[in-house]
Amino acid sequence: MERWTRLGDVPLAPQGSVVAVGNFDGVHRGHRVLVDEVVARARAAGRRALAVTFDPHPLQVLHPDRAPALLTGMAERLDLLEGTGLDGVVVLPFDHALAARTPRQWVHEDLVGALGMRVAVVGHDVRFGVGNSGDLAVMHALAAEVDLEVVVLDDAVSDGRRWSSSWVRELLAAGDVRGAAAVLGRPHRVVGEVVHGDHRGRELGYPTANLSADAEGLVPADGVYAGWLTALGDGRPGGGVRAGERRPAAVSVGTNPTFDGLERRVEAFVLDVPAGAPLDLYGVRVRVELVERLRDTLRFDGVEALCDQMALDVATAREVLAAG
């Protein structure tokens, strides 16, 4: 899958392109319905399958106070889109100049002119152009002027509710990572660099990989989770986890109230690290996938009670992950 950041860098395809435009935050199942339609129509007609997205999120520029917490960083979003069969993704830097494009400029000049769009795949609630002044009726009118086919898809729903990034955020805020996975089509991910913490876990016999404060991906409600850790780069020799290796983990999200912690952290204890190969992933980017919430964050009366509970958490996490 090719990636571009300027419309002028995208070479025109002889048969034109099938295009979908969106933020694609989380690349959830609703997004997949849209993208799958793009890919299927492109393959059937010998055209190129493209998606157009924006960085930063438009609301971060236009209405920062209303901008949502993002489910995925751009790098992770592109990796997820790469698995859909798209031929390319255009990531346009979103600024006030782009926001000022009229619906006609956006469709005729940017999408049809620069990308050779012959088919646009949209939802019923499509909005585009300055002030979101373009809607489905405007899209059809503009399409008729340039012989553009507009394919309108119905909302993808589950239990009567539309699959959306907002729904995933609600579920994560409640700690319902299993429900979030049902909408996403995969476990929710948090990606960040492993940094030094208090080393308290190592002292207690549960060394953890602590993610940096600038980790990408919406952090769910505080609690203990069963999950997976994947190293996205090589650790130090004998570091316990090889690059690309997906390992079971018990993951703590919160402030460590037993020790009066103030900083909210994501800490992953990797299960079954071989003896003689202590976990050492400092400076390595890792992906933590959250499968199921096991319990709330609790304050314990002492270290012994905490360690007893951690042993139970590890056993429960192992059972959950083994069950799939």
pLDDT tens, residue by residue, 136-165: 999 999 999 999 999 999 998 888 899 999
pLDDT at 74 over 60: yes
pLDDT at 262 over 60: no
pLDDT at 167 over 80: yes
Sheet holding 17-21, edge to edge: 2-4, 88-93, 48-55, 17-21, 117-123, 149-153
Mean pLDDT of the region 80-90: 98
pLDDT at 313 over 90: yes
Residue 246 · residue 267 · CB < 8 Å: no
Q: What pLDDT is stored for residue 255 in this prediction?
A: 84
Residue 250 · residue 267 · CB < 8 Å: no
> In sequence order, which residues have a C-beta less than 8 Å from that of residue 42 and are 6 or more positions away?
17, 18, 48, 49, 87, 119
As a residue count, the chain comes to 324
Q: Is the pLDDT higher at 235 or at 25?
A: 25
Supply 318's token pair: 């192992």
β-bridge partners, 231: 243, 286
β-bridge partners, 216: 191
Confidence of residue 306 (pLDDT cuts 50, 70, 90): confident
pLDDT at 261 over 60: no
Query: What is the number of alpha carbons within 13 Å of residue 309 lying toward its C-beta?
Result: 17
Q: What pLDDT is stored for residue 160 in this prediction?
A: 87
Q: What pLDDT is stored for residue 236 in this prediction?
A: 55
Of 17-21, 60-64, 102-106, 283-287, give the lowest mean pLDDT range.
283-287
CA 108 to chain centre: 31
Confidence of residue 202 (pLDDT cuts 50, 70, 90): low
Supply 182's token pair: 């049902």
Q: What pLDDT is stored for residue 275 in this prediction?
A: 61
Confidence of residue 237 (pLDDT cuts 50, 70, 90): very low
pLDDT at 72 over 70: yes
Q: Average pLDDT of the chain?
A: 92
Of 248-252, 260-264, 303-307, 314-318, give the lowest mean pLDDT range.
260-264
Burial 168-203 (b: 16+ CB within 10 A, else e): bbebbeebbbbbbbbbbebbbbbbbbbbebeebbee
- Domains of the chain plus CATH, in order, are 2-162 (3.40.50.620), 188-323 (2.40.30.30)
Confidence of residue 219 (pLDDT cuts 50, 70, 90): very high
